[in-house]
Structure 1
Amino acid sequence: MMLPTDPAQNLAKLIRCPSVTPAEGGALAVLEDMLKPLGFAVARPTFSEAGTPDIENLYARRAGDGPHLMFAGHTDVVPVGDEAAWKHPPFAAEIANGEMYGRGAVDMKGGIACFVAALARHVEETGGPSGSVSLLITGDEEGPAINGTAKLLQWASARGEAWDACLLGEPTNPERLGDMVKVGRRGSLSATLTVLGRQGHAAYPHLADNPVRGLMTLVDALLDPPFDAGTERFQPTNLEVTSIDVGNPATNVIAARASAAFNVRFNDTWTVESLQAEIHNRLDTASRRRKYRKDRKEPVEFELAWRDNPSHVFLTHDDKLIGTLARSVEAVTGMHPALSTSGGTSDARYIKDYCPVVEFGLVGQTMHMVDERVQLADLETLTQIYRRFIGDWFGSR
């Protein structure tokens, strides 16, 4: 039986599955067919929650006597956008000028294809690692992320699964394969701030209370001064106002309320709780300022609604995991990767609660774009890195 040792062939099969969240699209079935010849027992649990689509996921384990390495990722992809704008059909896996085109080529079917190929080569060459290898693959990373990795981890853990380390195959390299390993992630906290005013005629402002003036005061307090100057391993905490809305189509009416949505990406200076307290304190203090409301003595009346499921900041300290991966990257590419905590959130925020986790995958320059594509040479290079990492982490290279 032919083992799935060719990452390009593996990726082409996965791309041809239109697995746009929340659709499984056949991608998990294709992956199961790749894994079973390698000795994996495969389960595909579906999780549900009111108000969200049902999501099918995959957990596969090749059992062995020794440590347990998890590879994590997702087969769901974002929508293609304007399909007519693609040079090559988004689910055809066509190759041109040494690149394979398709939605998910980089984010992140390519990483999965390479890990499967690397493991297949290891099995073919050595009989496989002495320990256990598992793949934890969700279909809900690009969607609400409610019925995906978090529940899949709980499901597997309840059945006795335990892991010593995890490699997450998200695209981590900004320019070239070998640039960057992610060893942590900033936290993410979102909220909606609503200022309550009194509706009235724009020509008679003394009879109204314009909430926009109050909102300007409060938003200014959120943006300045900076929350911190950054730490040894993390960028400075940054707050971005992502939406301001009054919902008022009339130009001669002062609205009754105004709102602003914001997101904070924060470093290890803060916890979710301490950052929430700091934001509340800033708003409470600013509500009594009169810069834009000189004729108002009462404080700005506001409400603050936190979004559910904030992401906590974390940093991985596992020397074996980080060192083995960094040495594998350097051995194959000649580059010493930066150990970074930059970028957005990922499913590593859930995995960190079960075992140490690092992230390393393809170059992410075309992810989510029209004409998402990957260099075939990068697929082979990443497979070689993963192959070396598997052998060295298990001590059986």
Structure 2
Amino acid sequence: MGRGPHCEPVPGRLGWSGRFTSTPARGPRVQQTTAMAGIDAPDMARAQQLIGSIVRSFENKVVGQARLRETLVIGLLTGGHVLLESVPGLAKTTAAQAIAESVSAEFRRIQCTPDLLPSDIAGTQIFDAVKGTFVTQLGPVHANIVLLDEINRSSAKTQSAMLEAMQERQTSIGGESYPLPKPFLVLATQNPIEQEGTYRLPEAQMDRFMLKDVLDYPSPAEEADVIRRIDAGVFSAEQRPPAAASLDAVVEVQELVRRVYIDPAIVRYIVGLSYVTRNASQYLEPRLAHVVEFGASPRASIAFSQAARAMALLKGRDHVIPEDVKSLAHRILRHRIILGFDAVVEEISVETVIDAVLASVQTP
């Protein structure tokens, strides 16, 4: 068995049957600051009130989709971008609008097409004939919440322009940098059933999304409720409820998320999950290990840490527990573990591999 950083496998009867167990880190101790700061009772009460208001506002517009609601709220509280995959008609745009309206956020929807240019997203310079100078016109990405509809229909050049916005929180126009507003969140969608005229998202850009959620059809009762709400005019502009929170309040709660305590043992557990994906042959059974071409990058561990803190706050806790990490595993790893062609032939899904990774790492 190989030895990972600060962790060691427990030998098994076969080469792949060992489990990854955490051991205390060796070397100089790193002082924890924000993670140890804690959250006092008044701050926790305000956070719960704001989160509850956002959830109720969201539920007023979107029927069911509890996991989607949870994913979007985690993205809002962490500033982590979200990739949504589903067939058309499952309320992705409605959900994005609902989360934006709940916090008075400026919302922009960009329909991605093959002829979309980077300047159509970031902005461009226009010559003002009256003044005789160029004037910068900012693009639709300069909003608090941006929906990139069918992102895989945009060209590689346009997708690269989004990389700067997503990672650096700024755009470059005419040699000048323009910061994006705070908070800033990108929600991108993909249609898995129609691949004609699409461009595959590069792994570097996929890795910039904190979470990837796969939506399913609503139940018959939920679908009937959607029809009743449409008949009642819930989705009309006249029925729009007031915002549940301000953008300043969202920024304050984002600061509280950073103060949620995460124990070093859970940090090692998170690192262990990412490490196993990169060393699948040592910890997973051969049937699953050989279909894994590339594992998750350290950005996955960072996403686990940030999203688990937000999940804890959603549950009313000021500390992270292992169940927070486990509940996020599919959403954080499904777009970061790259499977080979054999996975398609043998009908092995990435979710099956993630479940095996969870089973191979000892829970603290």
TM bucket normalised to smaller: under 0.3
* Greater share of residues in strand: 1
* Greater share of residues in helix: 2
TM-score normalised by structure 1 residue count: 0.23
* Bigger Rg over Cα: 1
